[in-house]
Amino acid sequence: MTTADNRVLVLLPPRPFGGRARGSGYEVMMAAVDDGFVEFVRERSSTLLRTARLLCAGDQGAAEDLLQDVLARVYCRWNRIVGDPEPYVRTALFNAAKHRWRRRSRRVAESRWDETVVGEHLSHHDGPEDRLAARDEAMRALAELPPRMRAVIVLRFFEDFSEEQTANVLGCSTGTVKSQTSRGLGKLRGLIDLSGKAAAEPVEEPR
């Protein structure tokens, strides 16, 4: 292994995507836009879908629809995004979820986590039922939270966002984030084990 005392890491991340097309002509530009967009979606959609799934309290179909809608909107603005598009997409995802919740009276009820996922996993995997039950419990608990509170919890504890970042994404004050976090944790305490003991149990073979 090379010793590298003279090789000092400089954190200068490359520009992530060719948002601005190179070359000339509309076709060339659109091809570059499409390539960059598809590449981004291919690489990051699983990650984004996990967030969407939590925002939809475990409903895979609703999460996929939500993310597809967001990506379709983002595509229309793709060549105007400068820098890493993921923060933009992630913010758009939370905003879309917010608007979706406002329209919730018109939407189809979300599938229950246990109906859509747990049953499928139980029938096909050899993993311990306890782990699946824990996931089911987590999604049921999330489903009990009001949408805005759920978003705060997901941003703070899944995305590891600070209170300020969370407030920026959700367009509210840090005070609101604090109170929603506190209330959310209070609710979740009664629904899932947050003592750390359950989390310390090994997850033997997630897939």
Partner 1 sequence: MTTESEALAQVLRSAVSDVDTPAGFAEAALRKGKRRKQRMRASMVGAALAVTAMLGGLLSGVPSWRADSDRLTPASDVRLSTPTTGDLAGDAEFLANARATWERELAAHVEVGASLARAGCWDAVGQPHVSWANSSSAGPVALVMQALRAKGSCDSPLPPGGLVVVGLFGTDIADGKQHLMGLDAGGGGVFLIGPDTVVVALQESQARFFSRRAEYAADGTASREWTPFIFQDGVAVAAVAEPDSSRGSAAVFVKHKPVDPGAAVPPQDRVRPVETDAVRARVTGPGNGLPLPGLQWTTLKGHLSGPLLSLTERRQRFTDALDHFRLTDPAFRGWYTSDRAGVNQPGGWDITAQLPDGRTVIVSEHVAGHENESYAALFRGDRAERVVRGPKIDRAAALPVVVRLPDAQGWVVAQQGAALRWRSAGGAWNLVPGDAALLPDAADTVEVTLPGRTAVEVALPR
**Which residues, 90 to 119, sit near partner 1 by CB under 8 A?**
none
Please name the residue ranges forming H helices in 56-128: 60-76, 85-102, 113, 119-124
By the rule CB under 8 A, 144 interacts with partner 1:
no
CB 194 within 8 Å of CB 184:
no
**Residues 173-192 within binding reach of partner 1 (CB under 8 A):** 185, 188, 192
Interaction between residue 40 and partner 1 (CB under 8 A): yes
Percentages (nearest 5) of helix, strand, coil residues in the chain: 65, 0, 35
Options 129, 130, 164, 193; binder of partner 1; rule CB under 8 A: 193
- Token duo for residue 81: 């995004």
Q: Per CB under 8 A, which of residues 55..94 are in contact with partner 1?
A: 58, 60, 63-64, 67-69, 71-76, 78, 84, 86-87
Binder among 157, 163, 168, 187 for partner 1 (CB under 8 A)? 157
Contact 98, 42 (CB under 8 A): no
The number of residues that bind partner 1 (CB under 8 A) is 85
Name the residue nearer to partner 1 (CB basis): 154 or 167: 154
- 207: how many CB neighbours lie within 10 A of its CB? 5
**152 counts as binding partner 1 under rule CB under 8 A:** no
Contact pick of 81, 96, 97, 154 for partner 1 (by CB under 8 A): 154
181 touches 161 (CB < 8 A): no
